[in-house]
Structure 1
Amino acid sequence: MIRRTVLACSVLVGTVVSVTTPAAHATSVGAGACVSTVDSASGVTSTLASDGACVVTFATAPTTPTTSTQYATRTWTVPAGITSVDVFVVGGGGGGGMSNGSTPTGGGGGGGGIVVATAFAVSAGASIAVWTGYGGQGGNCSPGSPGGNSKFGTLVAVGGGFGGGCGPAYGGPGGNAGGAHWGQPQGSSTQASSGTASNGSNITAYGNSGGKSYPHGVAGDAVSAGGGGGGGATQIGGDATQPGANSSSGVGGNGGEGLINNWRTGTDTVYGSGGGGQARSVQGAGGTNGGTASGTNSAGGAGIDAVDETGAGGGGGYRQGGGRSGDGGSGVVIVRYYPDTAPANSVAPSISGTTTNGQTLTGARGTWSGYPAPTYTYRWKRSSTVGGSYTNITGATSLSYTLTDDDIDMYLKFEVTATNSTSTTVELSAATARVADFVRPTTTTTSTTTTTIAAPATAAPALIVNVSAPTTTFVTIPSATESTAVPVIRSTATTTPTGRTPSATTTTSPSTTVPNAPTTTSVPAPQPATVVNGQAAMT
């Protein structure tokens, strides 16, 4: 691990990435599309993430914490074809402060400052300087040491501030500042002034102040209850409190919480948290991965170290019982970029639906990767045999397809074509079952013959008419001078059977027999008529 001491100074931030001459003994890390060239592979990894990104991590292996602002340095050569990267830069965390035997109020170390840049412009083939800051050493009856700066080219994350202790007792300035010791002010963040500030576009910087001790910044107060917590990337350090009536009930300030990022492993990790402040009664807890304070008025102890490679601050400590306060965690730089890769299919396309004429099938394109992200086109194909040659179905180019008569007894497949700037990849689904015809409805025609049988006509009852032969009856007319034979004029007889309306007039005629049950009607013999004035009539 390369170490060197740097003078405290302001860092000028520009828009051009610093370029250095590649090391003569370059080495490679990673594999496949994610191979990277560095001058030293110590603490450097390059992996392929699940979303197709290459992630290059520059970490600082656990070392003896620095007592000055130190860092490890390397160079990275931008791979061919890469013109922009995402960068996550975390400074080393500050060490916690240590108090003496009568004032157990060491301040927590501040977390390292953080800079996040997206779509940060780089030039393919350029070599970029990468620093990873060491964590600051915890104090021993003294303040802690600040963390070392980390950087990627012109992007600089300032190391965390030291926690206050006996001489000086104030919280140290830094990316995230340290918490204060008894009666002194907390530190303020210098991320924007000494490192890279947010630009309101693609660069965001994080830094906060430390927490106050109790009493809050009043020098020379007769009692001291607790030290302030170190600042975190997303939260200022907590203030120490005294909830009881005297200093023995003091509570140390908690460390501020850091920033979550998952680029390195795909799992959320918290970076840049502050360490907890030490107190007489209840110790301040560090933010996630930050150190917690230790020691009480009756039994002191060393502060707890922060987690390396997270840039968290160390916890404050108490001299009584020995040991020093907690060390800050080392910093880290994470670089992410997306190499151009051909579309690749990991889950094949598939078809759902019922393979019956008239039904609609739906295609699913499956799972694909590739950068830039592919675009997709679709096509349905059919064959007369499951293992035969499949031909395109005219016009069938969407995710769904409705089966027609032409598909009966055929097999279908769904084809997906994925295309990006690198190349084109085609993938087919498995074949469907044979397409069946739908059950067509059967029409049965029944011929119905309607026979109308007329009710038998009811014949009028047959008549048997007995007509006597005409006779001539002579009568004596008293007033006549001679006998005169007057023929009897018979009337015309009309006979109507009972219950029927006559449809004809029956005139006397010779006897006629109708073959039905006979009805006999007798015409009465003519009655004598009186003749008046020489005429006679029969009625």
Structure 2
Amino acid sequence: MKNRVTKAISASVILAVSLIVPLDHAAAAVCTSTKSTFTGNGTIGLLNAIYTVESFTTVVTGCTWAVPSNVTKVDALIIAGGGGGGTWVAGGGGAGGMMDTSSISVTPNANISITVGAGGSGATRSILASISSTAATNGGVSSFGAYSVNGGGYGGSWSDVAGQNGGSGGGGTGNLAQGNTTNSLYGNNGGTGNSDGTYSYPSGGGGGAGGVGLNGQSNINGMGKSGDGGPGRASTITGTSVTYAGGGGAGCHGNTAISCVVGQGGTGGGGTGDMWIITTHQTSRGGNGLDNTGSGGGGGGGPNATVYNPSYYYGGNGGSGVVVVRYISDLNLSSSLGTGSITSTSTTYRTPTQMNVNAPVNGKITFLQFGKRIPGCLNLTAVAGATVTCNWKPAYHGQIPITVNYFQTGVSGLFKSANFVFSTIKRASSR
């Protein structure tokens, strides 16, 4: 059982054991973030949440972030650094592990440790004995408090370096296996390489957060086809849909320009593979993964054994990771009821009318007219993400001032209050 858990930690296990742990030491550097805001879109609403988004994009280990004084819940996107691409018949680097989770309990004013992982280095390779070669490296771990994801596994190189395990696995070479996924809510295995030398040893693409890296294939329309990187995965934590963590495409041996097709980088920023062409002697360099997406680097190509110029062949670097934190910083106190059962603040005397609130946090809501409670609309239970409705029949003509008081669960005092005016018109005559 222990071995099984070690090999594959499920999302439910990760979330069950993860806690936000305040730092005990004050010496850690303060995190630097880029802030933005957006207003949540509700289907019906007179109160919509205003979210603050803090993006931590600088590679750092253990900086501290102070929770704002009025914040008890946050959403977090955590993406580790992408793995570097291999070279010389090379697998693509795997994307960094990705975790996109909501409603994390935090303590106001507490310090939380944040780490943003670096992208892994691409491999360098030479077939000259006098020139040293280096394998690619895995991407760095990213974390928010005790929530942590592993960096992407690096892509394999020729016959001596296999694709490595990681947040998403690195792609395999034409001779060795791919890497697999470890400790990632969203991560996938790299593709396997193909040992068919007739078709330039097509290699496997790195895994992405949204899918596996593709395998290398031989004899596709008379050519080898190295695997594309696995697709990335979209997140809307910033208020718009952004795709992150694509796998790196695999490289080709490429004796001629038409002997092999390189792998494309996965959506979300994966680096594209490269090939070395014997007739041009061009330097082969896999594409880099896009920084702050955790995407994998592309695999480099490889030389023909009889040609030594240029001497080096490079895998692409993995993209650095990112940590994004989102929390409700205010409420948009609008006098408009937006779209829904009411499209304006005009209604008819003694006509059943609904007033709706999109609840951004758990709590209680009370509706008042002329400062007095509306019957049936006292201490209505608000559940975050749900709509709270007050059913009301206006008993006055003309202008009716309405107040909505919002009390948050576990927080003393009034959370927010919205004021607007209903214009009540007479019912049409029945004659």
Mark yes or no: TM-score above 0.5.
yes
Cα shift readout 1:352-400 (whole Å, capped 9, x = no counterpart): 466xxxx764656487786446635254x7xxxxxxxxx9899798655
Give ranges in structure 2 of 5+ residues lacking alignment: 1-8, 41-49, 126-133, 255-259, 304-309, 378-389, 409-413
Is 1:240 the counterpart of 2:232? The answer is no
Partner Cα distance (2:57, 2:121) in 1 = 18
Give ranges in structure 1 of 5+ residues lacking alignment: 1-10, 25-37, 62-70, 100-104, 193-204, 382-390, 441-539
Partner Cα distance (2:220, 2:99) in 1 = 41
What is the CA distance between 1:214 and its match in structure 2? 1.0
Match of residue 257 from structure 1? 231
Is 1:290 the counterpart of 2:270? The answer is yes
What is the CA distance between 1:89 and its match in structure 2? 1.4
User: Given the superposition, is the C-alpha separation of residues 342 and 331 from structure 1 closer, same or farther in structure 2, using an over 3 Å criterion?
Assistant: closer
Is 1:110 the counterpart of 2:94? The answer is yes
- RMSD over aligned CA atoms reads 3.7
SS of 1:429's equivalent in the other structure is: strand
Corresponding letter in the other structure for 1:125: N
SS of 1:243's equivalent in the other structure is: strand
Match of residue 48 from structure 1? 37
What is the CA distance between 1:426 and its match in structure 2? 4.8
Residue pair 1:342, 1:423 contacting (<8 A) in 2 also: no
What is the CA distance between 1:15 and its match in structure 2? 4.2
Match of residue 194 from structure 2? 214
Match of residue 90 from structure 1? 79
Match of residue 247 from structure 2? 274
Is 1:127 the counterpart of 2:127? The answer is no
Match of residue 230 from structure 1? 206
Is 1:183 the counterpart of 2:175? The answer is yes
Give the aligned length. Answer: 362
What is the CA distance between 1:432 and its match in structure 2? 4.7
User: Given the superposition, is the C-alpha separation of residues 84 and 402 from structure 1 closer, same or farther in structure 2, using an over 3 Å criterion?
Assistant: closer
Corresponding letter in the other structure for 2:124: N
SS of 2:402's equivalent in the other structure is: strand
Residue pair 2:29, 2:63 contacting (<8 A) in 1 also: yes
Match of residue 149 from structure 1? 141
User: Given the superposition, is the C-alpha separation of residues 235 and 396 from structure 1 closer, same or farther in structure 2, using an over 3 Å criterion?
Assistant: closer
Partner Cα distance (1:89, 1:418) in 2 = 35
Corresponding letter in the other structure for 1:129: S
Partner Cα distance (2:207, 2:151) in 1 = 12
User: Given the superposition, is the C-alpha separation of residues 436 and 276 from structure 1 closer, same or farther in structure 2, using an over 3 Å criterion?
Assistant: closer
Match of residue 508 from structure 1? none
User: Given the superposition, is the C-alpha separation of residues 149 and 351 from structure 1 closer, same or farther in structure 2, using an over 3 Å criterion?
Assistant: closer
Partner Cα distance (2:58, 2:208) in 1 = 20
SS of 1:107's equivalent in the other structure is: coil
1:335-346 mapped onto 2 (5 Å cutoff) = 335-338=325-328, 341=330, 344-346=333-335
Give the structure, 1 or 2, with the largest relative contact order (CA under 8 Å, sep 6 or more).
Answer: 2
Residue pair 1:345, 1:368 contacting (<8 A) in 2 also: no
Partner Cα distance (1:174, 1:138) in 2 = 15
Is 1:411 the counterpart of 2:398? The answer is yes
What is the CA distance between 1:151 and its match in structure 2? 1.2
What is the CA distance between 1:111 and its match in structure 2? 0.4
Is 1:164 the counterpart of 2:161? The answer is no
If each structure's strand is expressed as a fraction of its own residues, which one has the higher value?
A: 2
Residue pair 1:342, 1:420 contacting (<8 A) in 2 also: no
TM-score (norm. length: structure 2): 0.72
Partner Cα distance (2:106, 2:277) in 1 = 55
1:437-448 mapped onto 2 (5 Å cutoff) = 438=429
Residue pair 2:335, 2:421 contacting (<8 A) in 1 also: no
Residue pair 2:100, 2:235 contacting (<8 A) in 1 also: no
Higher mean alpha-carbon deviation, 320-329 vs 279-288, is at 320-329
User: Given the superposition, is the C-alpha separation of residues 50 and 402 from structure 1 closer, same or farther in structure 2, using an over 3 Å criterion?
Assistant: closer
Higher mean alpha-carbon deviation, 294-303 vs 283-292, is at 294-303
Cα shift readout 1:99-149 (whole Å, capped 9, x = no counterpart): 1xxxxx211000001234433343333322211001112112254221111
Match of 2:297 among 286, 305, 314: 314
Corresponding letter in the other structure for 2:139: G
Cα shift readout 1:455-507 (whole Å, capped 9, x = no counterpart): xxxxxxxxxxxxxxxxxxxxxxxxxxxxxxxxxxxxxxxxxxxxxxxxxxxxx
Corresponding letter in the other structure for 1:120: I
Corresponding letter in the other structure for 2:51: A
What is the CA distance between 1:81 and its match in structure 2? 4.7
Match of residue 507 from structure 1? none
Corresponding letter in the other structure for 1:237: G
Corresponding letter in the other structure for 2:69: A
What is the CA distance between 1:22 and its match in structure 2? 5.4
Residue pair 2:91, 2:204 contacting (<8 A) in 1 also: yes
Partner Cα distance (1:210, 1:432) in 2 = 64
Partner Cα distance (2:25, 2:179) in 1 = 39
Partner Cα distance (2:291, 2:179) in 1 = 23
Partner Cα distance (2:214, 2:407) in 1 = 51
Residue pair 1:351, 1:362 contacting (<8 A) in 2 also: no
User: Given the superposition, is the C-alpha separation of residues 399 and 413 from structure 1 closer, same or farther in structure 2, using an over 3 Å criterion?
Assistant: farther
